[in-house]
Structure 1
Amino acid sequence: MDAELSQRIEQALGRTPTGAAPLPGGCIGEVVKLAFADGGAPAVAKCARGGGLALEGYMLQVLNDRSELPVPQVLYGDDTLLLMTFIDGHGPLNAAAQRDAADHVARLHAVRGVAFGLERDTLIGPLHQPNPQTERWLDFFRDHRLRYMADVALDRGSLTSQQRDRIERFAGKLGRYLDEPAHPALLHGDMWGGNVLPKGDRIAGFIDPAVYYGHPEIELAFATLFGTFGQPFFERYAERAPFEPGGFFEARRDVYNLYPLLVHAAAFGPGWAEQAMQTIDRLL
Structure 2
Amino acid sequence: MDSASVGRAVARALDGTVRAVEELDGGMVGGVRQVALADGRTVVAKTGETPLTVEARMLRHLGERGLPVPSVLYASDALLVLEFVAGDGAHDGPLDAGVQRDVARHLAALHDRSADRYGFPFDTLSGAYHQPNPWTDSWVEFFREHRLDHVARAARDEGSLPDELYRRVSSLCADLDDLLPHDPGASLLHGDVWANNLVVDDGAVAAFLDPACSYGHAEVGLAYCEFVGFDGPFFDAYERVRGIDDGFRDVRVDVYALYPALEHVRYFGADEYGAEVDGRLAALGY
Q: TM-score range by the shorter chain?
A: over 0.9
Q: 1:111 to 1:143 in 2, by over 3 A?
A: same
Mean alpha-carbon deviation: is it higher for 110-119 or for 7-16? 7-16
Match of 1:76 in 2: 74
CA deviation after TM superposition for structure 1 residue 89, in Å: 2.1
Match of 1:104 in 2: 106
Assess if the C-alpha contact under 8 Å between 1:109 and 1:187 holds in 2. yes
Assess if the C-alpha contact under 8 Å between 1:126 and 1:267 holds in 2. no
Assess if the C-alpha contact under 8 Å between 1:158 and 1:273 holds in 2. no
Unpaired runs of 5+ residues, structure 1, are none
Mean alpha-carbon deviation: is it higher for 180-189 or for 200-209? 180-189
SS at match of 2:33: strand
The residue type paired with residue 68 of structure 2 is P
Assess if the C-alpha contact under 8 Å between 1:117 and 1:134 holds in 2. yes
CA deviation after TM superposition for structure 1 residue 3, in Å: 4.2
Match of 1:248 in 2: 248
Please tell me the root mean square deviation across aligned C-alpha atoms, in Å: 1.6
Match of 2:21 in 1: 20
CA deviation after TM superposition for structure 1 residue 120, in Å: 1.2
Scaled by the length of structure 2, the TM-score of the pair is 0.92
Unpaired runs of 5+ residues, structure 2, are none
Match of 1:153 in 2: 155
CA deviation after TM superposition for structure 1 residue 181, in Å: 4.4
Match of 1:64 in 2: 63
Match of 2:39 in 1: 38
CA distance in 2, matches of 1:69, 1:75: 17
Mean alpha-carbon deviation: is it higher for 232-241 or for 171-180? 171-180
CA deviation after TM superposition for structure 1 residue 278, in Å: 2.5
Identity, % of aligned positions = 39
Match of 2:166 in 1: 164
1:230-265 CA deviation, whole Å, 9 max, x = no partner? 212211111110112x33223211111000011111
1:180-212 CA deviation, whole Å, 9 max, x = no partner? 344200000011111122212211111000001
CA distance in 2, matches of 1:160, 1:230: 30
Match of 1:280 in 2: 281
SS at match of 1:247: helix
Match of 2:233 in 1: 232
Q: 1:163 to 1:230 in 2, by over 3 A?
A: closer
Q: 1:151 to 1:4 in 2, by over 3 A?
A: same
Assess if the C-alpha contact under 8 Å between 2:3 and 2:23 holds in 1. no
Assess if the C-alpha contact under 8 Å between 2:187 and 2:215 holds in 1. yes
Superposition pairs for residues 201-216 of structure 1, below 5 Å?
Answer: 201-216=203-218
Assess if the C-alpha contact under 8 Å between 1:196 and 1:205 holds in 2. yes
How many residues align? The count is: 279
CA deviation after TM superposition for structure 1 residue 2, in Å: 4.6
The residue type paired with residue 75 of structure 1 is L
Assess if the C-alpha contact under 8 Å between 1:28 and 1:53 holds in 2. no
1:13-38 CA deviation, whole Å, 9 max, x = no partner? 12212112222212321001111111
SS at match of 1:82: strand
SS at match of 2:56: helix
CA distance in 1, matches of 2:284, 2:112: 30
1:12-66 CA deviation, whole Å, 9 max, x = no partner? 11221211222221232100111111123x1100011x2321211111111122x
Match of 2:134 in 1: 132
The residue type paired with residue 157 of structure 1 is G
Scaled by the length of structure 1, the TM-score of the pair is 0.93
SS at match of 1:257: helix
CA distance in 1, matches of 2:144, 2:88: 36
CA distance in 2, matches of 1:46, 1:2: 11
